[in-house]
Structure 1
């Protein structure tokens, strides 16, 4: 079996998770690394035994390296577009973190380039690989709750709450992140809705809000204004008339990583959450006038790893449900609509 040679771009904390996942998959070998932080590059380079001439300050050189079969990008949002563009221009397969780009204006020319010269591409919408979510998708497709009419979805974390006094980091910097919790957590909610129901967003209304307007810069010791949202909510209508309620926040005290969905159909309901990633709750009518509630274990075939799908993509056999280039682009399209709806206080139709 082939081993794919990977160039890893971005060596911050999340890179260690990707390194672990690649090691677990067993058929990836990291042969080159890139980061603007020389200290991080030296540290990870030593950790992985990467030769000095394969440690690149310029990610374009890594992408163009003929010894690199595919790139994995784990960087802040402000370089997503440049890395995707470089991979497309070099014809290099890649896996990149979400969101697709910092702002929608960066996404449009990338789609045009991709349509001219497509490249195998995957994006880090990792909750598609939570067994309970995959099982929920399967049950919905099998009609186990009848026609889906509505759903509520939320993604809550608590680390940004005033209680903890979290300092100013790049995720609070609009120039780097583009948005706050909307792009960081909200992009996962948007992707999950498209993944579960296989349909697109048609229109929405939204509110973005900043709860903590200033945070302490740990470098300068000064208070810095936060210009991005740390709470987002929106109402959406999807194709087929499915109605959705979305909420995300970093200020939910007691929520570690709480991403969950309740789906309401004509003949039943499904509840699924990262708090119980291997099980879901199914409510349906067991006998006329009598509801039954069951907790179901996700079957073995729903336990799919992200890098298993990336491996299949590189081998030319992309699997059903793999988050590809157009998934990421459509996601950015919806993020842009949420921003416009909040700014204009109006209902915004999604570009079709």
Structure 2
């Protein structure tokens, strides 16, 4: 049990990135009750002023340069909610400053950035967390518990998919930063696929080999500023198959063009003693199919136990308190994830199986 001093400590947070996703992070921090945002940073001066006023941040704690925020001695820890092209720079600055952080996924834009960070991390290890938020979906946490306890017997195979529909043709989605390769590195793969990769590692351990297919389904989109069509150089769709460290074989599929799939991230696990389904569509329950008697299958919908209800920011608190859980996604989880993203890209481009 945590000591009273630790339990009551409030951490002074520097928030980098004040776009749409920052609203959720601000709410999540407020719900925990032990975070105080005391500094903010953004390249957009209007957003910096508006959010600074809303949060009651003094003007001298509103930074156009995130490095100045990270180096602010009043900031205990950093929360970064930015586009992919600055992920590596922010983590690098946190490592150099010795400042704990929670950074968004994907870990970096390209693998070369991750490799450079690893070299620095090995010299200057700093507590950090990467935002693989679906580790905190109760159904997925319970699935992991059942797999680890052997309740499904030997797991032979699994299927993971993450589907959204905001990029589909009927939505007439224009060209935005998520389609800009210079900013994102990849499209669906880094955005949604990074969560699938992390879920596989969370459930089954490390990847051993994989093959892949990446496609750009919609080749151009209109630039809202000019009306001109812009060529899309990142993937709209990715699929890959892999073998994991325990010889489990898995199929992965992700698309932002799946009409009717608002935010459909799910896993099906097939073991000798049964099948298990877990999904964001029903985050508080799992479906368990198993043999109840010879030639008689039972299908049960099971409520997730309370112990599986852990929040991302609750886990971030455990990291800051020095009591981090073994399931917390840290620096090496981010690095390994980017390593697999790179393997998927190479497998698709070279049309061959990549051994990890």
Q: TM-score range by the shorter chain?
A: over 0.9
Pairing partner for 2:298 from 272, 275, 292: 292
Pairing partner for 2:94 from 87, 90, 94: 87
Pairing partner for 1:230 from 224, 229, 236: 236
Offset of residue 117 of structure 1: 1.1
Pairing partner for 2:161 from 131, 149, 154: 154
Report the 3-state secondary structure (helix = DSSP H, G, I; strand = E; otherwise coil) of the residue aligned with 1:152: strand
- Aligned length, in residue pairs: 349
Within-5 A mapping of 1:181-192: 181-192=188-199
2:4 aligned residue:
none
1:310 aligned residue:
316
Pairing partner for 1:210 from 202, 209, 216: 216
Q: Does 1:339 align with 2:345?
A: yes
Q: What is the TM-score of this pair, normalised by structure 2?
A: 0.97
Q: Runs of at least 4 residues of structure 1 off by over 3 A?
A: none
Distance in structure 1 (CA, Å) of the matches to 2:111 and 2:53? 37
Q: Deviations over 1:158-205 (max 9, x none)?
A: 0100111101110000000000000000000000011012x1001110
Offset of residue 42 of structure 1: 0.7
1:34 aligned residue:
41
Pairing partner for 1:24 from 7, 26, 31: 31
Pairing partner for 2:72 from 65, 68, 87: 65
Pairing partner for 2:109 from 95, 102, 122: 102
Distance in structure 2 (CA, Å) of the matches to 1:140 and 1:242? 12
Q: Deviations over 1:122-160 (max 9, x none)?
A: 011000000000011111111111011100010000010
Offset of residue 294 of structure 1: 0.4
2:130 aligned residue:
123
1:165 aligned residue:
172
Q: Does 1:44 align with 2:51?
A: yes
| C-alpha RMSD of matched pairs (Å) | 0.6
Distance in structure 1 (CA, Å) of the matches to 2:347 and 2:277? 28
Gaps of 5+ in 2: 1-7
2:5 aligned residue:
none
Report the 3-state secondary structure (helix = DSSP H, G, I; strand = E; otherwise coil) of the residue aligned with 1:339: helix
1:329 aligned residue:
335
Q: Deviations over 1:1-41 (max 9, x none)?
A: 11000000000000000000000000000000000000111
